[in-house]
Amino acid sequence: MSTILAADISDTDILERLRDVLHGTFEIDPARVTPSAHLFTDLGLDSIDAVDLAIQVQEMTGMRIKPEDFKSVRTVGDVVGTVRGLLER
């Protein structure tokens, strides 16, 4: 699943890709992965998992993530927004 996302991908498609990543990497039920789901309290990720997720996002976008790009990410919707921002660079 290392295919780089196209810049014109929809947010819905980004969310679907994140569901696949979170399920495949962390065994999280895709039904729980909603834009409002909090990565830490709702999905049970920890700081190490967040680093793994950031690496997955880098692979999805083909772009390096600066720490400030991922620092304020708290929800799945934040991740979608970060991916969108990276794709629009």
pLDDT tens track for 62-77: 888 887 778 889 999 9
Across residues 41-64, what is the average pLDDT?
92
Confidence at residue 32, expressed as pLDDT on a 0 to 100 scale: 97
- pLDDT tier for residue 1 given thresholds of 50, 70 and 90: very low
- pLDDT tier for residue 87 given thresholds of 50, 70 and 90: confident
For 3-57, the DSSP string reads PPPPTT--HHHHHHHHHHHHHHHH---GGG--TT-BTTTTT---HHHHHHHHHHH
pLDDT surpassing 90 at residue 9: no
Percent of the chain with pLDDT strictly greater than 70: 97
Cα–Cα distance for residue pair 49/18, rounded to 1 Å: 14
**Distances 26 to 8, 44, 48, 56, 63 between C-alpha atoms, Å:** 27, 9, 11, 12, 22
